[in-house]
Each structure stands twice: as structure tokens, then as C-alpha cells.
Structure 1
Amino acid sequence: MRFKGKTAVITGGSSGIGRASVELFLREGATVIMGDIDEAEGTAMMSSLGEGFFFKTCDVTREEEIRALMDYAAEETGGIDIVFNNAGAGGPRAPIDEISGDEWDFAMALLLKSVAMGIRHAAPHLKERGGGAIVNTASICSFQAGYGPIAYSTAKAGVLHLTKVAAAELAQYKIRVNAICPGFIQTNIFAATVGANKEETQAINTVLGQAAASAQPVARPGVPDDIAEAAAYLASDAAGFVTGTHILVDGGMLVGTEGSWNPEKPGMLDAILPEHLR
């Protein structure tokens, strides 16, 4: 019961990583307030998850709705101790030579500004509690090309630096700020990015799961619970000496090229050397 007596606000909690986090934090004793645009699923979750769960419709691209979510959480429960800025989506897929200004602005609003405003409007409530923890969802896309669309990747890189600077500014109030960088996790985000229907989504998730299992040293696909557990650690007192940093939860995907961990694939040096010199 790591969070007994504490209030946690989680955005984007109706599915995937957010849903797993909502359920884990509830099991660990927290009162959870979820903000999400999916009103139907949020209402259904209120019936299924019990009295420790609250839902408020929230479009994180709108600052006034983020402010209202944080104020609602504090009013209903007496304060806020933990915030998990998790809401997001793949966003526009266009490359830099085709993306429009409006598409770029939408991606930044959804993936970066939403986190900044989540911190901004949670901080006064955390200060009133004498401190707390903020966790932000970034991505392996923050580090290098090839893992996501350019707007998404740029926004997630911004989340990492925002996390560091916010941690420095809020340390005086005993507020810790950290980020999680998921690798390929089996959620519907990839299918939603391309507008897949239900059957197509299932097929895409199956293929992604199979591909992810062979794309990193840990030979299985990531699942939402992997990220939820990382979020719970960073939000808990066990991480009381951790701030301004990030945790990679990617099955080792960024440790190096496939040849560095797969004995069946040649390493970079082996690939260029003549066979008798290997």
C-alpha cells in the first residue's frame, strides 16, 4: 500500500499505460482522479473501480480543462500528492518537408504543452501538501530518429528537458519531477495513429508484439504494466532521492545495435572486417 492516504491524478487513463497505472495506484491505496477525453469509458470505470476512483472529462490540449482537473482533484480529496502526466497519442505522421504548421502545433499542444500545464496547475496544490511527485511520459523517441514521427519525437524530447528544468525549479517545495521513456509497448497508440478499425487494431498489435519481442535484448513485448510499475516507483517514497531524471523502460532497445546483444547477428566491426580477421 505505497500510496495509502494519497491522491494521484492520472491523465489519459482510459486505456493502455494510463489504465494500467490507474488500476495499480488504486491497488496500492491511492485515491485516483483520472482525466481523459473518453467520457463513456471514464463513466464506466467509475462503476467498475469503486469509491476510490474519480473521473473528470479533460482534453489536455486545453489549459482550462487541465486547471479544472487539478482543482477538482484537490476539492474532492483535500489535496494532490502525485501527478502522472501521461495523456497523449501518436499525432501527425507527416515528415518535416510535408507537415503543416497546424499539425505541428497540435502535436506540441497534445504532447508537450499538456505536460507543462499539468505541472503548472498541479504545483500549487502539491506545494500546499508540502511536496509531492510528478511523473511525465516521454519516449525512446526522445533520443534518436527512427522510432516515431518527427513531431511526436521532438515533443517527447521536449518533455525530457521540461522534466529536468521543472525538477530544478520545484525542488525548493519538495516536489520531485521525473520522466519515463517507454519503448514499444503493446497498446492501441500505433493503430490509432493510422486510423485502424477494431479488427485492424488487433492485427497490428499482434504483429507489433511479435516484432518487439525480437527487436531488443528482453525477448518479449512491453506491456502497459511495465510502465505502470515504473510510474509507481517514481511516485513513491522509494524514489525520494530521485528527481530531474528519466527511466528507460524499453527492454534494452537503446543499449546498442542488434549485433551487440544478438549472437546470431554480426556486430559493426564484424560486418566490415574480412572473415579471416574477425
Structure 2
Amino acid sequence: MTNNSIVLITGGNTGIGYETVKALYASPQAHTILMGSRSLEKAQDAISTLKSEISDSKSEIIPLQIDIEDDASIENAFKQVESTWGKVDALVNNAGGSYDGIVLSKPGPSGIREAWNKAYSVNVTSTQVFTHQFAPLLLASSNPYLLFISSGLSSLTTCSGGFTSKIWSDPSPKGWPKPAKLSPIAYRSSKTALNMMMLEWKRLLEPDGVKVFCISPGFLATNLGGMGADFLKKVGAGDASVGGVFIKDVVEGKRDEDTGKVINKDGVQPW
């Protein structure tokens, strides 16, 4: 049985998830990092790439097949982790997505319904199911952490104060119908719901000593929503590695005073 902390990251083969695995692998602290991915082949490819970038580590990375929208996949992953390690020290709910582009490709009620249902299925419902399944393994840890990856777009305070963005800043014209354009409303709403979910998990697990957070990683260049990292960099997004290092710091105990809050690398995000 390893003395390493066991860190499970869903969606760990790409984007901020990959950068989190990388930051943990580069850390002087020893971790057993479970790279969750819907495809074992993609996880193995990502691990090969990562190890070519970081040649020396105290940690190990193990691919774990997990599709959080598939209950059988969740159950199989749970059994594998339970039988091999018997605990999870940090559960990082990173798997998520933005599907608002569906509304542009399928104008009308069916497209709206598909985009919103998918956003809530992945970012809220499936994240809840996955966390519920793995909660016993968190409680088996002597120092458990539960993280949900939220967004700066989830803040009601920020958005009600006249939220602007380099991508979605055009004012809405008078009249109906409004011009068709990409707006992250389903994604944003699902992440606001995720913040509420985090508060409930904090309430449930506080007696067990679990440190629970929502992580707001910042405006970073990933392929979220299919816009592409290169495009996002052109409009001011930071490197995804910034988010990975931040999440690593939380897992390693550097923000323990902020448990139960939505946090970013600079402080606490308003609700």
C-alpha cells in the first residue's frame, strides 16, 4: 500500500485536468494520481506526453476509465479504486463542458433543450452522482479534499453588476427575435448550480472533516465549448497551466482557510 496521497481527477487527459495532473506530478510531494478519462487510450497517450515533459517525479500516474454520464462506468471505477487503494484523499470533479454552441447549429426549442440538458447532465447531475458514489472513499481518508471546478462566469454578483467579456460583450438590440450569437448561458447557469451543490456537500461532509471547495480557475485557454485554445489566447485567456498549479495548491493544503467557498488564485469569488 502506497503512502502517497491518492488524487482522482475526472477529465484528466485534457485541458485544465491535464495541467492539474502535470502540476501534481511535478510537485515535490508524492501523489498517486488517477487520471480519469472516458477513453483509456487517450489517458495513456496523455500520460506518455506528460512524462516526456517531466522526466523526474516522486509521484505516479495511473489511467482510470471513467465516464461520469455512465453509471456502470462510475461503478466500475469505484470498485477498482476501492480494491486497490481503499480511499481517495482528493476528489477533483474536473470533467465538464460547454454546449451552448448547439443552439446555433440547431435553432429553436429542440436545440435549446439539448444544450441545456447536456450542460446540466454533465456539469451538475453526473457530477453529483459521481461524488455520491465516491464519498465513502473520501471518508476513508485521514485528510480528505473535495473539489468542484466552477467558473468565473458562475458568479451572480459579478454578472448582475454588468458582466462584460471580450467574447460576449455586444449589447442586446431591442426587439425579437434577437440576433443569433454564441452566449454561454447554459454553461454559466450550470456552474452556478454547481456552486450550490458544493455548499450542500460542505454541509453534509463537514462533520467528517472533508474540506470542500469550488475552484474558479480563471479565463484560461482550453478547448471548452470548441472555441479552441489558440482563439481564446488571442482574446486574452491565460495558459491552462495556471489553473493546474492553482488546483494542485488547493489539494496540497494551501487554501484550507477558504473551505466552503468559491475560490480563485487571488482570493474568494463573490457569489
TM-score by length of 2: 0.75
**Cα distance in 1 between the residues matched to 2:247 and 2:15:** 14
**Cα distance in 2 between the residues matched to 1:117 and 1:65:** 12
1:81 paired residue among 73, 79, 89? 89
Q: 1:72-221 alignment to 2 at 5 Å?
A: 72-93=80-101, 94=103, 98=109, 99-143=111-155, 144=159, 148-190=183-225, 192=226, 201=228, 205-212=229-236, 221=237
Give the structure 1 partner of residue 19 of structure 2.
Answer: 20
In structure 1, runs of 5+ residues without a counterpart are 194-200, 213-220, 256-278
Q: Check the 8 A contact 2:10/2:95 in 1, yes or no.
A: yes
1:60 aligns to 2:68 (yes or no): yes
Q: Check the 8 A contact 2:10/2:92 in 1, yes or no.
A: yes
Give the structure 1 partner of residue 239 of structure 2.
Answer: 223
Give the structure 2 partner of residue 42 of structure 1.
Answer: 43
* Shift in Å, 1:105: 1.9
Deviation per residue, 1:70-100 (Å, 9 max, x gap): 3322322332100110011211332896444
Cα distance change, pair 46–207 in 1 and its aligned pair in 2 (3 A): closer
Q: Check the 8 A contact 1:80/1:126 in 2, yes or no.
A: yes
Mean CA deviation greater in 36-45 or 223-232: 36-45
Amino acid at match of 2:249: Y
| Bigger relative contact order, structure 1 or 2 (CA pairs below 8 A, ≥6 apart) | 2
Give the structure 1 partner of residue 77 of structure 2.
Answer: 69
Give the structure 2 partner of residue 7 of structure 1.
Answer: 6
Amino acid at match of 2:21: V
Name the SS of the counterpart of 1:61 in structure 2.
Answer: coil
**CA RMSD of the aligned region, Å?**
3.0
Amino acid at match of 1:209: K
In structure 2, runs of 5+ residues without a counterpart are 52-56, 169-182
Q: Check the 8 A contact 2:12/2:18 in 1, yes or no.
A: yes
* Shift in Å, 1:164: 1.4
Report percent identity of matched pairs: 21
Mean CA deviation greater in 243-252 or 106-115: 243-252
Q: Check the 8 A contact 1:35/1:69 in 2, yes or no.
A: no
> Based on CA coordinates, which of the two structures has the bigger radius of gyration?
1
**Cα distance in 2 between the residues matched to 1:131 and 1:118:** 20
**Cα distance in 1 between the residues matched to 2:142 and 2:266:** 33
Q: Check the 8 A contact 1:222/1:250 in 2, yes or no.
A: no
Name the SS of the counterpart of 1:182 in structure 2.
Answer: coil
Amino acid at match of 2:148: N
Deviation per residue, 1:149-169 (Å, 9 max, x gap): 221111100111111121111
TM-score by length of 1: 0.73
**Cα distance in 1 between the residues matched to 2:264 and 2:256:** 18
Deviation per residue, 1:184-220 (Å, 9 max, x gap): 2111224x26xxxxxxx4xxx33421321xxxxxxxx
* Shift in Å, 1:251: 11
- The count of corresponding residues between Structure 1 and Structure 2 is 233
Q: Check the 8 A contact 1:130/1:173 in 2, yes or no.
A: no
* Shift in Å, 1:119: 2.0
